[in-house]
Structure 1
Amino acid sequence: MARTESNMLPLGTTAPDFYLLDTLDNTKKSLQDLKGITGTLVFFICNHCPFVIHINSELAQLAKDYIAKGIKCIAISSNDVDNYPQDSPELMKKNAIDNDFIFPYLYDESQEVAKAYDAACTPDFFLFNNEMKLVYAGQLDDSRPGNDIPVTGKDIRTALNALIENKSISTNQKPSVGCGIKWK
């Protein structure tokens, strides 16, 4: 598996808006429809990436732990489904159900949203405050497939907790690492 690092969108960047298909209910939704009161965690994932498969249960748990605190999670897949059919919208829905995702799993068919966010890999994380300004762009934690470090979500959880408590978030943020987005 190829290892690609995230591009680290500059902190303070305004979240690019989108209008994408939610594969769970087959309706289109915008960022404005889905954003959280306190913050919004947007992450780019896909079905087949071993880095994402490794953290799926933590992604599901994150959403469950933080939704009551005003944080909304939004997953987006931007992979080329012609060459990677395992990432098709139908299989995205199945994956979301199988992993108990309580957040929308959106399909970025044109890949324009991934480009707007400068997303590079799966997983790639972007945490925005209630003004939709980027406050964290980095890894979930130090765990990777095969490195024997437990998946805890430590880095994202630290940033989320600081945002909720209105504390400063460290600008020393490690890039996410995963499979490169499969561009058309």
Structure 2
Amino acid sequence: MAQQSRQLTLGAKAQNFALLDMITGNLVSLEEAASPKATVIMFICNHCPYVEHILPALVEIARTYQARGVSFIAINANDASQYPQDGPDHMKELAKQMQFPFPYLYDQTQQVARTYQAACTPEFFVYDGGLRLCYHGQFDSSRPKNDIAVTGEDLRHALDALLAGRPVPAQQRPGIGCSIKWRVA
């Protein structure tokens, strides 16, 4: 069953974090990885069909916008004890296979996902140069089996507005995907 992202207050300041990048093995903090132009924080995972559906386009869009000064950070917060395919080794394998041009961070404690109020994968948070939230929602309207082309339209519109110095439209469609797999107490 699909999960929808929560509605968040635009303008909220991003909270710093430091997580291990499964690609390089280095600790990556938001402060170090953020861009003075725009920063995209995205919650993804390996096994979600919604993520798998957009992944090639996401990698392409990240490359395009990184060339324009936008920073991209991917975070996986799923409980790997219940979903081993979302564990660190598999994350590294997927990142290499898809040639991720961005860090793929593992939120093992799930604290970053809780702080950001992330609910699903994929879910996108776009911050301006001052790390204020200006977009929170979907990649585009394409879903597995809905026959809508994967374009990244919603994310691209937000980034284009930021890069042009225009406000990002306040009407934003929530992200829809698999729920984050929370650790059971």
Report the TM range for the smaller structure's normalisation: over 0.9
Any gaps of 5 or more consecutive residues in structure 1? none
Q: Which runs of 4+ in 1 moved over 6 A?
A: none
Any gaps of 5 or more consecutive residues in structure 2? none
The answer to whether the aligner puts 1:115 opposite 2:114 as a matched pair is yes
How far off is 1:97 after superposition?
A: 1.0
The count of aligned residue pairs is 183
Partner of 1:104: 103
Partner of 2:136: 137
After superposition, residues 40-51 of structure 1 pair within 5 angstroms as 40-51=39-50
SS of match in other structure, 1:179: strand
Partner of 2:152: 153
Partner of 2:71: 72
How far apart in 1 are the matches of 2:122 and 2:7?
Answer: 13
Partner of 1:61: 60
8 Å CA contact retained: 2:22, 2:92: yes
Report the TM-score, using the length of structure 2 for normalisation.
0.97
Counterpart residue identity of residue 123, structure 2? D
How far apart in 2 are the matches of 1:143 and 1:8?
Answer: 20
Report the TM-score, using the length of structure 1 for normalisation.
0.98
Partner of 1:4: 3
Q: State percent identity of aligned pairs.
A: 46
How far off is 1:62 after superposition?
A: 1.3
Partner of 2:163: 164
How far off is 1:8 after superposition?
A: 2.4
8 Å CA contact retained: 1:9, 1:117: no
